[in-house]
Amino acid sequence: MKNDIIPSKVEIRQLGKVYDGSTSSTPALQDVNLSVEHNEFITLVGASGCGKSTLLRILAGLEYATSGEAYCDGKLINGPGAERAMVFQHYSLYPWLSVLGNIKFSRGLKANRGDITSSDVEAAAGRADALLNLIGLDKVANSYPNQLSGGMQQRVAIARALLGRPSMLLMDEPFGALDAQSREVMHDMILHIHRIEKTTVVFVTHDVEEAIYLGQRVVLMEPRPGRIHSIYPVPLPRARDQDMKHTAPFRELKAEILARIRESSGMATDLELLDKLCAQSSAL
């Protein structure tokens, strides 16, 4: 039998990025190598400034690498593509459009430009209704963004990103502005979407607990220059539930990653200093 090798969804090879400023240049990424499998949910975590957003933006085609390359489905990424949709922390919905209007907006625009036909737009309307159901907002389809909570607005932004059936979702701290309770709801919702839509997800966060809860693998990055330190497979069943956060494998992995982040960001030295100061003041 022929042994076909299925290529990874994403291949990142020796990727580097230097931002050139007027007086200095910033090496944001160096020698990044990573494969992401089809339908995998992978999370990128690390201290601020370690290049997580830059890497995601390169995968989205919004930023160019200055060395190395990244491939999606075997094709070199050299600009945005319909198969890759991005979700940002600030959802920027159109306030004058309803929930449904926001989800369908980009399709309407393309139809106006002649990129797609009116039957495509009709199909997109059916898809928009299905997505409203999937994200649990069918009851508020005709509401406006200012009538929705932050979590609900972010759900609309996710549905909008999913409208064109992207095979990959790139998410940049999408729940960073939400309160803790809304975040937990969104975590279970995005896992549900991942299961149903079968997209590959690359998810950036600085929250280690979020990274472990959502990811099948957690990529830990380090700053100056931004690079991958380690890749941790998450030792939990894929069907997650909130109680898993209290299990030993979860807590151990969280402690290990947090310790490494504290060390690489200089926070460990700050904490040691603080301990010393506390000891000195209690001795007085």
Binding site for ligand ADP (CB under 6 A): 19, 21, 26, 28, 46, 48-54, 226
In the chain, the N- to C-terminal Cα span, in Å, equals 78
What is the closest distance, in whole angstroms, from the C-beta atom of residue 224 to ligand ADP in the complex?
8
Question: CA-to-CA distance for 86 and 59, rounded, in angstroms?
Answer: 10
What is the closest distance, in whole angstroms, from the C-beta atom of residue 236 to ligand ADP in the complex?
25
Please identify, using beta-carbon distances, which residue of 39 and 66 lies nearer to ligand ADP.
66
What is the closest distance, in whole angstroms, from the C-beta atom of residue 90 to ligand ADP in the complex?
14
Question: CA-to-CA distance for 281 and 269, rounded, in angstroms?
Answer: 18
> Which token pair is 66?
């200055």
Please identify, using beta-carbon distances, which residue of 51 and 145 lies nearer to ligand ADP.
51
What is the closest distance, in whole angstroms, from the C-beta atom of residue 210 to ligand ADP in the complex?
15
Please identify, using beta-carbon distances, which residue of 175 and 250 lies nearer to ligand ADP.
175
Please identify, using beta-carbon distances, which residue of 29 and 132 lies nearer to ligand ADP.
29
Please identify, using beta-carbon distances, which residue of 36 and 236 lies nearer to ligand ADP.
36
What is the closest distance, in whole angstroms, from the C-beta atom of residue 51 to ligand ADP in the complex?
4
